[in-house]
Amino acid sequence: AQKVTQAQTEISVVEKEDVTLDCVYETRDTTYYLFWYKQPPSGELVFLIRRNSFDEQNEISGRYSWNFQKSTSSFNFTITASQVVDSAVYFCALSGWNTGFQKLVFGTGTRLLVSP
């Protein structure tokens, strides 16, 4: 079975603070992909990043960075110098070889509130 856990239901920060969103996953597949999506108030999901299980390199994209650690089954997401526009719900998701990488299993999401 596959499972994604986002223990943080809601996080509130003040603009310019750094914030880390946690994601822990479970899967029996040895080959899998991990994703982060952003869902702003409009509701449309925005793809942010994907990582395959063989690539543990951390990635940085502007103010966003991701830390993938297979040893702890975690794929955490850090926003540096947060901005009000970062306010959204962020979902971590997993797809595995067992389902042909077609089905996404989502975590419960973390609501990020960035105040001015």
Partner 1 sequence: GAVVSQHPSWVICKSGTSVKIECRSLDFQATTMFWYRQFPKQSLMLMATSNEGSKATYEQGVEKDKFLINHASLTLSTLTVTSAHPEDSSFYICSGPTGPSYEQYFGPGTRLTVT
Binding stretches for partner 1 (CB under 8 A):
33, 35, 37, 42-45, 47, 50, 52, 91, 95, 101-109, 111
- 39 vs 67, beta carbon nearer partner 1: 39
- DSSP single-letter state for residue 97: G
* Distance (Å, whole) CA 89 – CA 67: 19
* Distance (Å, whole) CA 85 – CA 98: 37
Cβ 43 to partner 1, closest distance in Å?
5
- 44 vs 116, beta carbon nearer partner 1: 44
- 40 vs 81, beta carbon nearer partner 1: 40
